[in-house]
């Protein structure tokens, strides 16, 4: 069974082909970072137009990479939400049209389920049950996962997502868009302990997050100190440590709450080396395991959509001729497999 995956939820056009016997056969990705850099963030209309230009050529490139023809594809999976509605409509319309033309099923995929299942593409995939930390520019969530589609939300950010806070703080430090990875790189040169940032919402029970206050704290710290490179690196280090510690504290609470021994982290921020190191150390002390995808599968990509689509296809999921996307779509709405 070969499934073509199409990801167009935001500012990356991702196309991949997954085979149930051979695994990942093709993976093509185009990033719009340069397109949006001058604006300091994603411009939805520009994103949609660029997806229109790039999706079909990338599909052709993926077929060539896998040495396949259209007749060799058994289903088309596409991101149906959550995301930017215009960008989603591009992928959904192309995916549904190709499925109709090729007479194969069309499978709508939840973007965050794609991220959650991305570690399944690795050689050592996690077994159920586990706690999942979904951490990206748009989401910060802790989820109890007992099976495919069996998701219970344990906690989430009440304001900015962790990745969003990274990008906003990076902008305050004068870094280019997208600033999160650049802030992390700057933090490696920072002196630990010179500045101390709060660990928000860790002084009270619960599993929710709040990161908007850290951005304000960073802004005040930047204004109140010299603007030399070392000071900025020290502030970046303090900010990153605060976010990583907060995520680790909440993950520990979630593991204690569920009694699970496995932790999965997914989403763009899961590529952060400091976060990976912190959670690996924590899980080793607890006698458990932490799982995550390779860095290129942490950010948006077609491989995770192709894989999630394959899983959903086996459960009988398929769309009719209508094209429907959901800019807002809770994971809890998904049916179990």
**Binding-site annotation: residue ranges for Fe cation:** 111, 115, 300
Residue 250's CB: how many other CB atoms inside 10 A? 23
Residue 194's CB: how many other CB atoms inside 10 A? 14
CA distance 149 to 208: 22
Residue 336: Cβ-neighbour burial (10 angstroms; 0-12, 13-18, 19+): exposed
- Please report the sign of the dihedral spanned by the C-alpha atoms of residue 16, residue 14, residue 300, residue 95: negative
Question: Binding site residues, as ranges?
Answer: 111, 115, 134-138, 167, 180, 272, 300
CA distance 118 to 257: 24
Q: What is the DSSP string of 273-293?
A: HHHHHHHHHHHHHHT-EEE--
Q: Which run of H or E residues covers position 135?
A: strand 130-135
Question: Binding site residues for substrate, as ranges?
Answer: 134-138, 167, 180, 272
Q: With both helix axes pointing from N to C terminus, report the angle between 273-286 and 179-187 in degrees, rounded to the nearest 10.
A: 70
């Amino acid at each position: 069974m070969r499934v073509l995956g199409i990801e167009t939820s935001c500012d990356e056009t991702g196309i991949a082909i997954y085979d149930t016997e051979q695994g990942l056969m093709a993976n093509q990705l185009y990033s719009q970072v340069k397109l949006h850099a001058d604006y300091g963030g994603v411009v939805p209309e520009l994103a949609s137009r660029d997806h229109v230009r790039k999706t079909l050529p990338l599909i052709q490139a993926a077929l060539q990479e896998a040495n396949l023809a259209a007749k060799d594809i058994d289903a088309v999976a596409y991101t149906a939400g959550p995301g930017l509605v215009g960008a989603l409509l591009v992928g959904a319309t192309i995916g549904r049209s190709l499925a109709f033309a090729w007479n194969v099923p069309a499978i709508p995929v939840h973007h965050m389920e794609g991220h959650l299942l991305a570690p399944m593409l690795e050689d050592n995939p996690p077994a159920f049950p586990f706690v999942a930390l979904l951490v990206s520019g748009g989401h910060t969530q802790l989820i109890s996962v007992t099976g495919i589609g069996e998701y219970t939300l344990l906690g989430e950010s009440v304001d900015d997502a962790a990745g969003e806070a990274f990008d906003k703080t990076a902008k305050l430090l004068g870094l280019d868009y997208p600033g999160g990875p650049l802030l992390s790189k700057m933090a490696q040169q920072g002196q630990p302990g010179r500045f101390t940032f709060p660990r928000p919402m860790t002084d009270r029970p619960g599993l929710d997050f709040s990161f908007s206050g850290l951005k304000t704290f960073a802004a005040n710290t930047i204004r109140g100190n010299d603007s030399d490179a070392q000071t900025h690196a020290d502030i970046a280090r303090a900010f990153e440590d605060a976010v990583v510690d907060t995520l680790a504290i909440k993950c520990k609470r979630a593991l204690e709450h569920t009694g699970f021994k496995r932790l999965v982290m997914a989403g763009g921020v899961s590529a952060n080396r400091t976060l990976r190191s912190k959670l690996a150390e924590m899980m080793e002390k607890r006698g458990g395991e932490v799982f995550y995808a390779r860095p290129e599968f942490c950010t948006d990509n077609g491989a995770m959509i192709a894989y999630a689509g394959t899983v959903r296809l086996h459960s009988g999921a398929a769309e009719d001729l209508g094209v429907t996307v959901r800019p807002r779509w809770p994971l809890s709405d998904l049916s179990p497999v």
